[in-house]
A and B are shown apart, each in its own frame.
Chain A
């Protein structure tokens, strides 16, 4: 894997943007200005970016309730996302979606999804479409260690295997499905990836807190799927730094666990150490990105706060393309 300077800076920028977006939301939610459920992606950035950086705008992804990271990595407008989460008229989805349903079809982001396991069959549909179009595109679904237990995910894996379509099942194992551990909830003799193997798929495994390891594994997988070998899966071992939702007291965490995963399993720190150690980028390069990202998030929050609320007269608009 040879990433050039711009690609490295871009990957870092996107991971940092996700991190700061989420860190800021964690603070802003406490003000009470943001309603509803928000599920933060902080800690898992290397997965979204390590994967989406290798996709084109015409490859489709289907995301989860913890979708901000996938959105940013796939190219959704950060300010539009912030406005959406604030429920503003200028939001990516005009304030109809909120955190849990953000989508931007123009960048191939088919939607976050409030239903755990809701997305996997849709990625198979995207893959069916991709195969017909014959341009080597893929349909990617992100699922966690929660969604991996949904019947829809099993159905989708089987359908993808029997139809041999270019669907990719990304399992982000952050070890908690809501408030229950994967050690309890994922019944398997080995791991989640082995379930995909049980369906006859080739599966990869990688450290999802390491951008380079995730990237390299996905490079292999993507080459395999784009070559027309049918679906494939990858399980990434990762961490979520916050609760299932904002406000989750996280009484299920071990003593010192949150401090430990932040200290030992931080993809941004690992990235910085790797690229500066190899003299690919300097601390100054990365610090400059940090400053740009913080400024962007600051602007995004300010603009979201200042944006108008949606017009109540539009409450029933856009239910149909045409209804008569």
Chain B
């Protein structure tokens, strides 16, 4: 086991996998950086620091700096994937899905199905997402629910360095398009990472803790916030089953249902507005399939139905907080 943070886990996985498989290529804005400047290539290495050294090691044919052209980035990844490569396309901010949505949604997600199962599209799109850095309405969104709703895509959200390695490796070795979400506030999260080959299967939620009283389902940064809430209620002897989904497509429905069948109480935490959200999706799924196990209505802890504000205190008010999660836990427990 090595200790590293999520950023380092992503960088080392990209290096290792690109070394292992010469079909893997990387393209995006400033993934090299510095091209066409006095500073020269590799002046940046990715604004999130997730691609240093790749250009030098693998060269400009495999590590491609693109203009600011999100549709072309994703479209080129789609075309390269159909042509035998395994592209990794980076969207500097997940919000730019809006610029490139057609190439994700109408193109790469649908190729295999539309073409009668006769092709595959092994592309990985890395999307940097999430609130918490005051990047406001157009650079903070957690658009995973929208992409989870699209058949043909897999949606992955690592919350630990070990999972960042395991899930990215799995994405790069699979044959379907994967939306790989990296929360901008989690890059510095440290932890143990298995050495050598480490793959984390999709659709297997991580059991963060087992407590037996209330099931809390979360993904991304909300897992960390839920842990804080779980610590807080533990002082009153309340035990939380906390599930980190790891992937929202495929979704580990069994893990959620098994836990709810034990606890009878569900809180879903989702860093996005409530309508047509992941929280609503999971609450509906549990209500339909485990209705008789439920002792209280499922609770959704989400952001309000609003864009993401800039001011520090407003942003904090927007993001679901550990306190709100704690309140929801107590609410579902109190329901009679």
Which residues of A are at the interface with B, using a C-beta cutoff of 8 A?
60, 62, 91-97, 101, 103-106, 110-111, 113-115, 118, 120-133, 139, 151-152, 155-156, 158-159, 162-163, 316-324
Contact = CB atoms under 8 A, between A and B. Distances in A.
Residue among B66, B87, B203 with max Cβ neighbours from chain A (10 Å): B66
Given A152-B71, A159-B72, A96 B107 contact: no
B306 interface: no
A65 to B, nearest CB: 12
Contacts of B64: 128, 163
B67 A159 contact: yes
Contacts of A97: 114-116
B149 to A, nearest CB: 13
The 7 A-B pairs at the shortest CB distance, nearest first, are namely A121-B75, A125-B79, A318-B117, A122-B79, A93-B116, A94-B116, A155-B72
A321 B103 contact: no
Given A132-B62, A158-B69, A93 B118 contact: yes
Nearest to B62: A132
29 contacts: A92-B116, A93-B114, A94-B116, A96-B115, A96-B116, A101-B110, A121-B74, A122-B76, A122-B82, A124-B76, A125-B81, A125-B83, A125-B87, A126-B82, A128-B64, A128-B79, A129-B83, A129-B84, A132-B25, A152-B75, A155-B67, A159-B73, A163-B64, A316-B151, A319-B112, A323-B154, A323-B176, A323-B250, A324-B201
B202 interface: yes
Nearest to B152: A319
Contact of A118 (B87, B106, B175, B203): B106
B72 A156 contact: yes
A123 B110 CA distance: 17
Given A115-B107, A120-B75, A321 B116 contact: no
B201 A122 contact: no
Nearest to B123: A125
Interface in B1-48: 25, 27
Given A124-B79, A132-B62, A158 B72 contact: yes
A126 B250 contact: no
B109 to A, nearest CB: 9
Contacts of B61: 128, 131-132
A128 B25 contact: yes
A215 to B, nearest CB: 25
- How many B residues are at the interface, by size bracket? 35 or more
B102 interface: yes
Given A128-B25, A158-B72, A322-B175, 8 more contacts: A113-B107, A118-B107, A122-B107, A128-B80, A159-B67, A159-B69, A321-B120, A321-B176
B176 A158 contact: no
B167 interface: no
Contacts of B75: 118, 120-122, 124-125, 152, 155-156
Contact of A60 (B25, B83, B112, B202): B83
A129 B67 contact: no
A251 B117 CA distance: 40
Residue among B79, B118, B152 with max Cβ neighbours from chain A (10 Å): B79
B184 interface: no
B79 A114 contact: no
B228 interface: no
Contacts of A120: 75
Contacts of B110: 101
A94 B114 CA distance: 9
Contacts of A122: 75-76, 78-79, 82, 103, 107
Nearest to A141: B79
Nearest to B108: A122
A319 B113 contact: yes
Contacts of B119: 103, 105
B248 to A, nearest CB: 13
A155 B71 contact: yes
B316 interface: no
A247 B73 CA distance: 36
